[in-house]
Structure 1
């Protein structure tokens, strides 16, 4: 069968498949139309039946009404005849009415014959009507016969009336029954009608859908036929073009010309598969000299080889930009589709065709290429077979000609052999001689090969030894790294074991120094002071060890900020001048003229290094002078890091005329626990850690330390660091001399925090602020936020509102700035490193110098109730909008600019109202006093108050109800509330009041003093500006009053010394302490003891540690709000975050600072007088 015939058969088969699908679609459409028509006819019949039954019910009701009407006419005629005493005109309607009654009674019985109940009712109705007619007929006949109306029998008339009432009753009953049926049939008819409407619409939609499907099938069938016709025409054209005895090149050329004309393929090529390679036999549309590939290539090379081996077509749309472009006189462009088609015949790849197209890929295109590929493959196979036969024929002819030539050559060869035989005998002797020479050469080569084998064996042995040495070095490096890790972990754990007893010693010695009971002598107090000082010295040593451990473990934080060199130098000078005077030494600080005014560095760590240098200088210098010189590093200074750019460096030189350091000892002084001489430790003290820490800190700051010294004459210690922190370069430890080597390389990032996983040091930049430009009279706001990005946003917003800004990233820095600058307001976060936000508020409000400063909170955690109770001006939850930020700064602005504060007093007792007003009066306070809750509510709607003093017992409603009403009034802003009442409150009542009230004061002996204290707190009044009597009340309120009043605290610690020390310190403050030794006991105590107000949780405990215990506490929904304060002595970076993640509300490191502990407790516990 020819290629053309095969193409036709395939086309007819496709057409038949399309016709079968078309018949199936039309059959389904006709079947659905028939079924839906039958269904609709049944639905119409149901509607028609329903309408007939409705009409039937109307006819029954009409028949009953007609009967009743006729009965009434009959009765009216009868009565008219009686009343008119025989007037025959009244009897005219009598007989027609009788006829109507009989006719409708018969019709009624016929109509209700389908309903047994109505049939029975109709029979009774008929009998009743007939009985009544008989009574009327009898009475009427008597009157007609007698003509004596005076003898009218009223009994018969009454009997007729009773019969009429019964008739009406029966008629009403039948009408009711029929109307009920009518309602039911109406409902059924309505449902049937709705169902028919819905079915019509559904049928219409389905018919439309089927019609659309039929249309799509017809359209697709037509498209398929058109496509099939197009395919047949092109395949037939291809078959005609490839017919005849064509060789491979001519066949390939005509094939590609066909695709160029039929498919508008501008470029193409055809490769013949020849055993293990591909050979290009034809190309179309381009110059072969411009091709990237060669004419022949390996079968496993490139996409062509992959397609030939996988026997799968490969389409690429679009191809990469560097593919061959199509050029003509009108322009050039790239094809959008690249197709690589394998030509397969009987499972073997005959050839591979590569076609480039401009048109998009389609099914018709793929089908044409697929069908054409088989035709092309067959023709190529035929051409291949013809070429093979032609080659065989030519080879046979060539072999015959060659045979004749060989015979002639054989004759000539025989003649030559005869001549060569003679020459061979002559050369044989010469060959024997050459063999002997060759044997000698082989012996020499064997000797050389043996020598080479010996050398190779020696090299292999050395390679094994080198590999073993390398492995040993790697294991040693790992062991050193692990040892360093173990050392850091050991030091961190040891700090816990050291701080735990030290904590007890410091707390108890502090209590002894205070001598609260007054039973210790001066000598005993001095002993306690000595113990406390010794404990602090031990704490300093532990902190030094921890600093070293933190550096080596990569957990030391570096904070980058702008440092004023002149101010820092002046500060160092002021610190050490008293020591120089006491030792009669000359002390000079020199800042060279070419120094910049500022540099970028961590001021705390920089000063730590310089103070260590200066302390050592003063320690080891008995006479002469000490100097600190700040200058550029000289060319003679031997630098290892940053040695090429000395202008970007600053050198700090500390020179002394002390004992000096021997040359052989200068390398070991920077090693931990090492000193220049063992006697130094005994004479001067110290551990040898200071310079080690300085070396590590210098490396973290991107610098290095250099020491030059002459024994007996003095020393010069130099610190060289970059002027700008961004210029710190990473440092490899093996490139440094011993005195400058770090535990690990360090990298510094100039604008963001570097996590411990990325660097051994943790570096952050403080946000620049206005601290150097603040003058008296400026409005200054202190912003405390540990997120530098958000801190910048807050600082920018504050400046837009007219404030100068102080920026602090932790609570400790904030406290220092408060003492130094006395800002106008404070904006702070709750979750801060070091002192927490609540602890910071408590510290601010507990000092008479700062308690008037308004504090506004912006935080991601909600402790607003505690913060507002402690005197915060406002509380915003993150994230905040620009409008909210503006509102917060506006609140601070209003509070500091307003000179008069307004207070609302709500008290039913008039004398009490006047007494409270007099108690808190002042030039800066205006009071409004009312006795009713309704009056207070009205005033709050009209005015803005800074504080409200509220009694709970009011005539019209309770104070709690008033607070609830204010909180639900959207148009009212609730001021801070101080509940001032004489009522004894239960715990539940106090918890209810806590939702609204910022302070609760029970009237008593000390209550006026506390009221003045609380009012001045919420009004942010400067204590020094209060009237003399109010200042005296404040002094009295703080004198001899316990800060707590019986609140229960659960102390969880396994160390009895710690529990004893903390109980001794806290119980005199008014707290009730319960003790647990581990997490299990803590959970048991919480279950067994009601009303625990706070938990102090140690971390490292046997059994269940503090982290696990806190997580277990938070699993109980009833303990979600229970304050938990974590206590830890490990003091490594990340401990605070771990505690807070485990469920702690706050965090304190050991040894515990009692003032800080009291601040935290006051922040999380209610004050005395509230319970």
Structure 2
């Protein structure tokens, strides 16, 4: 009966499809359940890991908030920072507990989390809370020591490493779970293959019952050809034939025809769409933006830049006019020349370039989720009349297909004409505007020309008058020039007179001062106990006052030398490890006497050897400390020495030296009002500058500090408020290249220079008053019976020196000038040493010493030059004239005795 049943091909095909559909439906249901299960597990893993990473990030943020608010509170003292600290302190534990619960099935990660908790709590206990407590207590010194150690840094690094370890464990766990899902996915794939095999078997069985199933293929091919012929096909699929016969060839040919047709249709439709978009645009920038946007979308580009050719000063450049998918960073360079870079080479060679191997450091493409590197770069020149008129550069994350490349090439084939037309229109509009403007200007100029013609006559008349005035002014300028030259000469002469005046004043002041100091020192000795203790104190006061006067003289001379540019600055090695000891020895007694705290600190990074002028450096520091002690009644004085780090130096400072010192002298004294900060560095100016002042001093100390700091290549700065103390900071560079060549003195020669380290503080001066001692037996043996010739025209000095030296059992001969000195030398050949004044009538000391050395041939006789002038080059002139040594008046008696002892011993050993 079945054999008699007639089923048409359509019926057989229908039955076969029904069987296949049922099999596919069953397989789809099974696969869908499996895929849904796998996706659910994968989503759970993603959500679980996302929550873990979120909690980790939040905990790290809380720790960073605690650290930043802690440092903000310590730096500023603003309690508002503690609110953020306390909030973070309370919240991190909540997130920590939630994260701990999420990792309940992962004991290793929980153990790492516990270690993180321990480290965080250790940081809070040892760094966070203690530092905040110290800041609240305003214990700055403890805070400074605390941050020198910085225990919290190790905890912060440990926390970061532990979080990285935890994240690594989470990633490893996630990968393991994903691997399990991949295995299940593999099983699902095998299942799918099995279902496909099953369906295929069923299809084959069904197909075997269908006669001539190729009728279906023939029908499809026929239908497709009809659709193509009618140009109405929207078919995107392809004919799939498994038989290897003419039907297969027919299907393949039909598929190729469909590919060609779709390609042409794609190109035509997209080209037409792009051309439609930019038609009618007259602005070149708008044209570039529109075209670039459309071409980037059609080619699935992620980045793009559009460059137009421009001629700037006869130099051809391609200037960027538009970008695609730009973000905060600028896409592409602003301009390039022919042959410059790959894009410039593309324009030079007029050919399309495609790069698929992109360097790792190439610009990343930004998306909503992050940034990814491009996979391909497409550079296309736009040509008009055999010249490159523009260049387009595109980048994509996927790569450019041949169809996309063909689309770009066809679009730019006519786009060059459009660009040229727009540029031409722009130029025409510009020229039209210029012509209109020029026409208007010509009209105005023609009207003005008529007016100016009338004005020219008047101007010519005025020019004649001005010519006469110019001649008169020229004569006046010549006269003014001569007057200026005379003024300049007068200024030079005044400067010379000033230097000479200071030298003479130095001599006139030092000469009587020398007698005052020597005689007051001798009275203070009271070797024969012939005066009372009160009179001894009077003598000490006289000595101290003389030292004050000497300090004033030296300060005025120093300031004058600086202004005249004649102060010697000798750069050499300074042992910085000895500076605190020297300062401590000088000022600790002052601090004890005034009941003040005195602290000296030197940073560890300070170099051991620093190159500067040690004398001027010491004088600046001592002057600053002296002022600090003088104006501080209670509290403390601090000296802090540190070396500036490289990042703290400006470019100008680094050009001078890479090693800079910062010496800060701070006190808790009276402070300086801000309106007087600029005054105190001026000569004879002080903060308490009233007629009746509580504090003494000349007001020259800070002025000298400022000038000396300039000579050392640095500066002195001030921070102070009235009633809040003061901080003076000396900043100077290490200048080894400024180190002068050292010159060794002859054996037995000692340089004795005038002491310039005189301070404003009376307490310091009392410490400097020399101890008065009786003449030792050793001195008696050296000096007894020695013949000393004293050459000086000042009776006061003669009396003072003769009295002091005769006490040491020396025989003193006196000459009032150089001529008397030579006469005594001719009559007495047993002179052991000469004390030679320089400025004398009839014959000065220079000429006298020269005659003794050159004419009388007494080269071994010690001659000590004594001068009150103390100006630059005096010492060199004295030594050149024949002096063995040099002492500046007024001199310390012990100093003179020491020099005499050295030279008498040296002479005795010859």
TM range, smaller chain? 0.3 to 0.5
Higher Cα radius of gyration = 1
TM-score, with length taken from structure 2: 0.43
Q: Which has the higher contact order (CA 8 A, sep 6+)?
A: 2
TM-score, with length taken from structure 1: 0.34
